[in-house]
A and B are shown apart, each in its own frame.
Chain A
Amino acid sequence: MSARADEVARYLKRRARWSPLEIAFWIFAFATIWLFPGKYLILKDTAILALFALSLDLILGYAGIISLGQAAFFGLAGYFSGLVAKYGFIDEPVIALVCSGVVAAGLGFVTSFLVLRGSDLTRLMVTLGVSLMLGELANRYSNITGGADGLQGVEIAPVLGLFRFDLFGHNGYVYCLIVLFICFVIARRIIYSPFGLSLRSIKGNNLRAAAIGIPVKWRLVAIYTVAAGFAGIAGALLTQTTAFCSLDVFSFERSADLLLVLIIGGTGYLYGGLIGAVIYKFLQDWIANLTPQYWQFWIGLVLVVIVLIGRERMAGWIGAVRAFFNRLGARFAPRLPALGGAGSEGH
């Protein structure tokens, strides 16, 4: 029996090992700091979007919860970090960032009980409703939030007392990238733990998961809370690096775009959100240059076409690319036989 347990442990450990492709990905990600010095603003937005998409991937790709309301956590933490900086409650951005994440996670914990009831449609409605409610509240208490004009006069102290957010966005980008990396490592750790495996089994079939003794409800509550925290950190990053926060952090479009980002990259493997964010930002930039006012049309077209072609087929080419790199990687490192489970299974 213990031999079997050892075997499983070894298997899980091997599975969780960093592949050469992943290492290359992150080396490239950090190399962009020197490679594209003129593009810091869009790179920074991409990093924030990637973190936000990662949070959605945790609940959609791994736990199978459809949400149209991740913007609620993004926006709440955005306003929180802006307010604590404005009134000088917490001067240090890193501590403020962590606190914002915790606040968002708190909201996630409370709302998770509402979200876990009912069907897909009810979930959509409740998640959307929560973010719209927060938007209305932010609008109502305009004496605190600045209302439609946005939260102005936010002054962000230098990070760790050393690195001031400069005009070119260099320090801001490095800061976002490091936070993204740390959050990614945490998410990766969660996903490859036994806890992460239990989430997959819940997504696959929650009745059977319950039958083999997995506490389905609490696992979902936990991952929803963690994902809310990540979304919150993304929102706080946006406020800190722009020193501004406006009502559109709660908007429906933000949540809908996020779904698109994740779908482009593919759900259910951590890099989906990251790759999706890069492609999405690139597309948006390119289309906005062609037709500044109507880029939404093309984004909509992309969504429709993706669904009509079929997400499975889209995930297919990503899978093919990955298989190619895995074979390439196998020459440099001994690897275990290919594991299934990447790509996006239908819900």
Chain B
Amino acid sequence: MLTILYDGIAYGMLLFVLACGLSVTLGLMNFINLAHGAFAMAGGYCTVIVVNRFGVPFALGLPIAFLVTALLGGIFERTLYVHVYARSHLDQVLFTIGLVFMAVAAVDYTMGSSQQFVQIPEALQGQFEVAGVGIGKYRLLIIVICGLLTVALQLILAKTRFGSRLRAAVDDQRVARGLGINVGVVFGITFAFGSGLAGLGGALGAEILGLDPTFPLKYMIYFLIVVTVGGTSSITGPFFASILLGIGDVAGKYYVPKLGAFVIYAIMIIVLIWRPQGLFARGAVSR
């Protein structure tokens, strides 16, 4: 029971790191980015290449994954995404689905369609017992890293000048522009950072979520659930949504394994009908 809770929290934390970039893009630019998972996949494969082929230590592989994906996100944002912000939602959906298809086929071509595994140092494998609960070392690492990241994100968002600019831009883009905030630059940086986080999540999660070319399609719906259920106005909303989703998914797969992800989809639809703006949205957001 507690083990399920523990695994669920680790899973949820991972989902949060993967999806929080998406929540910002959606909240800030009202942009539906279905290709977010592709960046996570890029991070995962980056780690696989660096760690398995070049023998770089795992601890160094993670920041590399972050940097490479952030760079990739930044480049894509400046060259391609900027053209699509002002378009209709239909165009955005088409555009990002196209990117996903391309990413899936390109990775399939270069890396093969089989599942990839990152070589994790032995110190992180296995588990130990605390009060009768099996604690996986790797999952503990995930919880620690993601927890620290969450706190750091919250601090950046609440305490720094950049954070207040970002919040202003999310709340009301036009007024923010009027106050002299360069929303485009704020957004570009945030997009790159969010992609980097997704890449880091993908690298960390390769062990738990599995890593193969269909990754962006498989987990797209999960990221979207986190964002839509959590709302886009803060990062606490998506955080709780991902923890709930993580625990719900692990518990669902443990207790009713045959139903698979059915439970999650059902919960999502019920929540969306009950609160179309998300569980943790504050008031009505006029968008």
Contacts and interface: CB of A to CB of B under 8 A. Distances in A.
A130 B269 contact: yes
Contact of A301 (B83, B102, B260): B102
B89 A120 contact: yes
Contacts of B221: 125, 128-129, 132, 252
Contacts, number: 136
Interface in B68-115: 80, 83-84, 87-91, 93-95, 97-106, 108-109
Interface in A139-177: 139-140
Contact of B261 (A120, A132, A308): A132
Given A118-B272, A121-B89, A121-B228, A299 B101 contact: yes
A307 B260 contact: no
A223 B16 CA distance: 38
B265 interface: yes
Contacts of A263: 94
B183 to A, nearest CB: 21
B101 A297 contact: yes
Q: Is the interface of A mostly helix, strand, loop or mixed?
A: helix
B214 to A, nearest CB: 10
A220 to B, nearest CB: 16
A139 B88 contact: no
A124 interface: yes
A307 B91 contact: yes
Given A66-B90, A300-B101, A133 B108 contact: no
B105 A346 contact: no
B135 interface: no
B272 A122 contact: yes
Contacts of B84: 307-308
Contacts of A136: 259-262, 265
B259 A122 contact: no
Contact of A307 (B32, B95, B106): B95
Interface residues of A, number: 45
A311 interface: yes
Contacts of A311: 91
Contacts of A132: 221, 261, 265
Nearest to A302: B98
A308 B80 contact: yes
B224 interface: yes
A303 B32 contact: no
Q: What class of interface size applies to chain B in its complex with A?
A: 35 or more
B266 to A, nearest CB: 7
**Which has the most chain B C-beta neighbours within 10 Å: A117, A121, A299?**
A121
Contacts of B5: none
B217 interface: yes
Interface string A222-261: 0000000000000000000000000000001100100110
A303 B262 contact: no
Contact of B105 (A140, A296, A302): A296
Given A300-B101, A307-B84, A125 B95 contact: no
B94 A347 contact: no
Interface in A290-317: 293-297, 299-304, 306-308, 311
B110 to A, nearest CB: 10
B287 interface: yes
Contact of A125 (B80, B105, B228): B228
A140 B260 contact: yes
A63 interface: no
Contact of B228 (A122, A140, A259): A122
A137 B259 CA distance: 7
B53 interface: no
Contacts of A260: 94, 97
Contacts of A295: 105
B269 A114 contact: yes
Top 5 A-B pairs ranked by shortest CB distance? A303-B98, A300-B101, A297-B105, A118-B276, A300-B102
26 contacts: A117-B276, A124-B32, A125-B225, A126-B273, A129-B221, A129-B265, A129-B268, A129-B269, A133-B266, A133-B269, A136-B260, A136-B262, A140-B260, A252-B217, A260-B94, A294-B105, A294-B109, A296-B105, A297-B102, A304-B80, A304-B102, A307-B87, A308-B83, A347-B88, A347-B89, A347-B90
Interface of A: 60, 66, 68, 114, 117-122, 124-126, 128-130, 132-133, 136-137, 139-140, 252-253, 256, 259-260, 263, 293-297, 299-304, 306-308, 311, 346-347
Interface of B: 26, 32, 80, 83-84, 87-91, 93-95, 97-106, 108-109, 217, 220-221, 224-225, 228, 258-262, 265-266, 268-269, 272-273, 276-277, 287
Given A114-B269, A136-B260, A140-B262, 9 more contacts: A119-B287, A122-B276, A128-B224, A252-B220, A260-B97, A293-B108, A294-B105, A303-B98, A304-B98
